[in-house]
Chains A and B, each alone.
Chain A
Amino acid sequence: MRYRAAKTSVIAAVLCVPLLAQDFSQHRPPSVKMTDAGVTNVTRGKAGNVTLHFEVEHGYHVNSNTPTAEFLIPTSLKLTAPTDIVIGRITYPKGQEMSFEFAPDEKLSVYSGGFDIGVVVRPLVGVVAAKYAVRGQLKYQACDKAACYPPKQLPVDFGIQVLKNAPAAHKNPAQSPHIHR
């Protein structure tokens, strides 16, 4: 019986740990996380679009790619692609124009919550059809309503599956313009 009581106590304590863990984690530095981008199919010789989704922790913001104030560090993505795969245009979303307690009269261009960055990838014609990894870093600098945190770099990676030819589109059988009955 005593053993059973002890076992129950241990289970109860273990069940309660997440409550404490949640509380202690509230004051860790802000984080920006990337959602798994998975693998995007791209036909060799053609450009493909990859969308990367990032989430800024609630209560914080990062500067947009085009901050309104001088000296602010823009959010920027740098990628390194394997040989024969070209990274094209990187498209950043427009920042949200927001004002904060520390500067109520000034509007800053920021990202908060979720934001997407688009990347154009183009495998060269001669590249072997296979799966490739693209890696890089997202540089950002986060603030909350009264303080700012040093710039950070978030590792970024995603996969692209290079295809020989475009995936076969569903073709409708050829139809005669005339209906024969």
Chain B
Amino acid sequence: MKRDPVIILVVAMVVTIMLVFGLQMARKSSPDPSEAANKGMQGKAAPDFELKALDGKTVHLSDYRGKAVLLNFWATWCQPCKIEMPWFAELQKQYGPEGLQIVGIAVDEDASTQDLADFAGKLGVNYPILVGKESVEDLFGGVQFLPATLYINREGKIVDKVFGLKGRGEIEESIKKALEPARVAQVVNQTGK
């Protein structure tokens, strides 16, 4: 059978263009590639860890069992983190009585605990700040850039992992999702039918 090399070339080009286009479309539906990569963490049990708080006390994630936890990785050099931390302080006040616990994990390598305390104090942070370790970042799939926020429901399962600054409304939606796992499960079951 005689094959025209031009046709083969055109077919190969078309296939490649479709592949590239498909990838672009997939990315558009999930704007952040890291988020897409971390979708796999959703529904999984949040791994427990042990870190020191700024006051020197040892804190475990499991200490907050039964509460919805917003785990926020931040650093003093992260300007977008500065924007959302005061929001977190307000959201802690608002949703704390419903069972939300916000926990900050500072990933600065050079900042002292005093620097971290000063930074957090200036932003009105009213939730515990822990001094991060790379091993803890790795437990959650790595933190390639900041801010990075995990939403963990009352059952200890990861509801969402979000990279970059999001709008306050979006943060609040994720908090509500973390606070109401039973309701989310119900919705998922209904849509799954």
Chain A interface residues (CB < 8 Å from chain B): 1-2, 4-5, 8-9, 11-13, 15-16, 19-20, 23, 27, 29, 69, 71-73, 100-103, 108, 141, 143, 146-151
Say whether, besides A8-B8, A13-B12, A147-B165, A71 and B115 are in contact (CB < 8 Å).
Answer: yes
Verify if B76 is at the interface (C-beta below 8 Å from A): yes
Main secondary structure, interface of A, reads mixed
- Say whether B83 contacts A8, CB under 8 Å: no
In the complex, chain A residues whose CB is within 8 Å of the CB of B16 = 13, 16, 19-20
In the complex, chain A residues whose CB is within 8 Å of the CB of B109 = 150-151
Q: How far is the CA of A147 from the CA of B73 in the complex (A)?
A: 12
- Say whether A5 contacts B165, CB under 8 Å: no
Within 8 Å by CB of A5, from B5, B83, B147, lies B5
Main secondary structure, interface of B, reads helix
A90 smallest CB distance to B (angstroms): 21
- Say whether A8 contacts B5, CB under 8 Å: yes
Say whether, besides A5-B3, A20-B19, A148 and B78 are in contact (CB < 8 Å).
Answer: yes
Chain B's closest residue to A13 (CB) is B12
Within 8 Å by CB of B83, from A1, A13, A15, A102, lies A102
- Say whether B79 contacts A102, CB under 8 Å: yes
- Say whether A143 contacts B12, CB under 8 Å: no
Verify if B145 is at the interface (C-beta below 8 Å from A): yes
Verify if B45 is at the interface (C-beta below 8 Å from A): no
Verify if B117 is at the interface (C-beta below 8 Å from A): no
In the complex, chain B residues whose CB is within 8 Å of the CB of A108 = 79
Q: Quick one: which of B70-125 are within 8 Å of A by CB?
A: 75-83, 107, 109, 111, 115, 119
- Say whether A12 contacts B8, CB under 8 Å: yes
How many pairs of residues, A versus B, come closer than 8 Å at their CB atoms? 89
Q: How far is the CA of A78 from the CA of B111 in the complex (A)?
A: 20
Chain B's closest residue to A147 (CB) is B164
B79 smallest CB distance to A (angstroms): 6
In the complex, chain A residues whose CB is within 8 Å of the CB of B19 = 20
- Say whether B79 contacts A12, CB under 8 Å: no
- Say whether A146 contacts B80, CB under 8 Å: yes
- Say whether B147 contacts A147, CB under 8 Å: yes
Say whether, besides A1-B2, A5-B3, A147-B165, A69 and B79 are in contact (CB < 8 Å).
Answer: yes
In the complex, chain B residues whose CB is within 8 Å of the CB of A71 = 76-77, 111, 115, 119
For A69, A100, A141, A148, which residue has the most chain B Cβ atoms within 10 angstroms?
A148
Verify if B139 is at the interface (C-beta below 8 Å from A): no
- Say whether A151 contacts B20, CB under 8 Å: no
- Say whether A16 contacts B13, CB under 8 Å: yes
Verify if B24 is at the interface (C-beta below 8 Å from A): yes
In the complex, chain A residues whose CB is within 8 Å of the CB of B33 = 27
Q: How far is the CA of A63 from the CA of B96 in the complex (A)?
A: 36
- Say whether A29 contacts B144, CB under 8 Å: yes
B34 smallest CB distance to A (angstroms): 8
Q: How far is the CA of A71 from the CA of B111 in the complex (A)?
A: 9
Chain A's closest residue to B78 (CB) is A148
Within 8 Å by CB of A16, from B12, B107, B145, lies B12
Q: How far is the CA of A76 from the CA of B178 in the complex (A)?
A: 42
